[in-house]
Amino acid sequence: MEEADQSNDSCHVSVMPDEIVEWVSGCKPKVVIDGTFGGGGHSRRMIDEIESLELVIGLDRDPAVVRRDDDDAIDRLSVFLASYEQAAKALAACEVDHADAMVLDLGLSSDQLADRERGFSFQFDGPLDLRFDPENGIPASEWLARQSEKAIADAIYQFGEERYSRRIAREVIAAAKRREPVRTVHQMSDICRRCVPRSKNHDIHPATRTFQALRIVVNDELGILTRTLQAAPDWLSVGGRMVVISFHSLEDRIVKQAFREDDRWNILTKKPLRPTDAEVAANPRARSAKLRIAERCD
């Protein structure tokens, strides 16, 4: 784990920032962990608007992570290149015993979608990588090359909830047998386009669910989220708040179950909060966001 470099070129618009500030400020925090720092939007808003706040500890797995370098913010901000699963190490590095709140925004940032070398967006061709940290793990193309047809189909169905996962897996294996292994975004997109019938909802690209599944697999996203929610009560002070924005049903289910099944959590949102119509109009990527909050019990 190392401190992140500084940069100012983020184009990401944070999701539900008003709600984040409102719910985090409710516990009058001195220390907050921003586990998905990204462009720093949530951290910036919290530093600007929460009077009690003395320190934000930002974590992000992406080496291209952006750190705001305002003079006011720098004194109260420490950012580390690390998974939010490593929050305990970040607390120790800052010589802090506990945080008073932890914020997770589980969506992709606009900066990642704009990166042609990562393969997150269908708009650009490039390597089928999909890793948040290109220096660790294996790219999605290599993962596909190592798996059986059944393993590929099962992963796409489980993590992408794609009904046509078996067709897609069959085509991936057939391409490999033709010595044309799937290595690029356009190759994978073309396979999905051929295998997934055009739906009534034309807004959903036929490759969306498959790319989601591959991204989840190569980054161990659900595993990290599950382990983090199990450990997070140990990182928070009594009365501290866990604030999580999820963007698809698999993530939301994990968050909901973790809050319900662990007696150390007191659930503050019986139903997930949703972005306002005005926010969705201004930032369409916010439309599927769900916000859940729980409080650390004594």
Sequence ranges of the domains in the chain: 2-111+221-296, 115-219
Q: Which helix (H) or strand (E) covers residue 245, if one does?
A: strand 236-246
Question: pLDDT digit string (tens) for 141-172?
Answer: 999 999 999 999 999 999 999 999 999 999 99
Average pLDDT over every residue of 227-247: 97
Order across the sheet with 236-246: list the strands. Answer: 2-3, 77-81, 55-60, 31-34, 99-105, 236-246, 290-296, 265-267
pLDDT of residue 133: 86
pTM: 0.87
**How many whole angstroms separate alpha carbon 272 and alpha carbon 185?**
33
Residue 71 scores a pLDDT above 50? no
pLDDT of residue 112: 54
- Contact assessment for residue 162 and residue 219, using Cβ atoms and an 8 Å cutoff: no
- Burial of residue 197 (number of CB atoms within 10 Å: 0-12, 13-18, 19+): exposed
The CATH code of the domain at 2-111+221-296 is 3.40.50.150
Q: Which helix (H) or strand (E) covers residue 59, if one does?
A: strand 55-60
Which residues, including other chains, have CB under 8 Å from residue 76's CB and lie 6 or more apart? 47, 53, 54, 55, 56
CA angle 260–261–264, rounded 5-degree value:
85
Quick one: pLDDT band at residue 119, thresholds 50, 70, 90? low
Q: Which CATH number fits domain 115-219: 3.30.70.100, 3.40.50.800, 1.10.150.170, 3.40.50.850?
A: 1.10.150.170
End-to-end CA distance of the chain: 31
